Amino acid sequence: MEIISLGYRTDLLLLELGGSEFRDTGEYVVVRTPQNPGFWWGNFLLYRTPFAPDDAELRLADFHREFPDAKHVALGIDSTDGDVGAVDELTAAGLTIEPSVVMTAERVVPPPRPNTQATYRFLTSDADWEQLYQQSLATAELEVDADYKEFTRRKLIAKRAVVDAGHGKWFGAFDGDRLQSSLGLIFDGHGLARFQNVQTSPEDRGRGLAGTLVHHASTYGLTQADKLVMVADPGYLAIRIYRSVGFADTETQLQVVRPPA
C-alpha cells in the first residue's frame, strides 16, 4: 500500500502498531480502529486525489457506507501540496478543512530558552501513565465528557502497548514525580521516527519545558533513526518551538472533518 504523504504514512504506522485495520479499495484506504470507534482519525477514509466537482456528496456516501454507525465524518487526502480541491462544495456540505504542517529534522539544536529545573526521563510506572491520562484531559480542546474520557483512556492503552512492545518511547518532563510535559516518539524500523502528542500541563506552560523535552527526545531519537517527523497545527503557537530546535516545514497534510452533531 503506497502512501505519498509523510504525515499519513507515519499516521498509519502509529495506527497499525495500535491495532487498527486497513483496506485498500484503490480509490481510497479504509482505516478502522474497532477498539476505539469514537477516534475520528482512527476511523476514516484516505483518498488518493483532491475533491473534484461533485466529489463531496459521493465521498460522504462512501464514508457512511463504510461507517454506518459513525457520528463523525473524517476524510483525508494523500497529497503533500495542500490542494484540497472543490472547497465551496466541502463548505456547503458542512465539512471543515484542517491543514497541518508536516515537519522534519535530521539534526537538532538546543532550544533558545532551555529549562534546566525539570528532570527529563521515560514514562515507566503505572503512576506515570495515569498522570499522562490526566494531563491529556487537562489539555483537551474538546468538551471533556464521559465519551471523551473513554476515548482518551482507550488511546492511552494503545499508546502504552506500543511502547511496551518496543516500538517507541514516551518521554516526560517532571518536577519531582509530577508530570509537567510529555510526548511520544515511535519508530518505523526503517529510519523514521514520528512524534506524538506534545503537551504541557496548563499550570506549567511558558517555562521552556516543551522545547527542552522535544530537544531531549530528538537527541535520543536520532540515535535510533535518520529522520524525525512531526505534524503540527499551523496556527498553534508551539510550532515555533519545533522550528527553534531545527524542524523544517516539509509538506502540508489535509484532513476534512465534520464533528458529531
Residues 199-209: pLDDT tens digits? 999 999 999 99
DSSP state of 130: H
Q: Is the pLDDT of residue 235 over 90?
A: no
Residue with cell 511558558: 206
Q: Rounded distance, CA 46 to CA 43, Å?
A: 10
> What is the reported pLDDT for 64?
97
The type of residue at 181 is: S
Q: Rounded distance, CA 15 to CA 25, Å?
A: 18
Max CA pair span of the chain: 57
Degrees, nearest 5: CA angle 92-5-244: 100
What average pLDDT does this structure show over 58-81? 97
CATH topology of domain 119-245: Aminopeptidase (3.40.630)
pLDDT bracket for residue 261 (50, 70, 90): confident
Q: Rounded distance, CA 198 to CA 185, Å?
A: 10
According to DSSP, the residues that pair with 101 across neighbouring strands are 232, 252
Residues 41-68: pLDDT tens digits? 999 999 999 999 999 999 999 999 999 9
Q: So where are the chain's domains?
A: 6-100, 119-245
> What is the reported pLDDT for 141?
81
Contact 56, 50 (CB under 8 A): no
Concatenating the DSSP letter of every residue in 207-219 gives SSHHHHHHHHHHH
Q: Rounded distance, CA 59 to CA 82, Å?
A: 19
Pairing status of strand 21-24 against strand 28-32: antiparallel
> What is the reported pLDDT for 142?
79
Contact 214, 242 (CB under 8 A): yes
Q: Rounded distance, CA 95 to CA 256, Å?
A: 6
Number of H helices, E strands in the chain: 7, 11
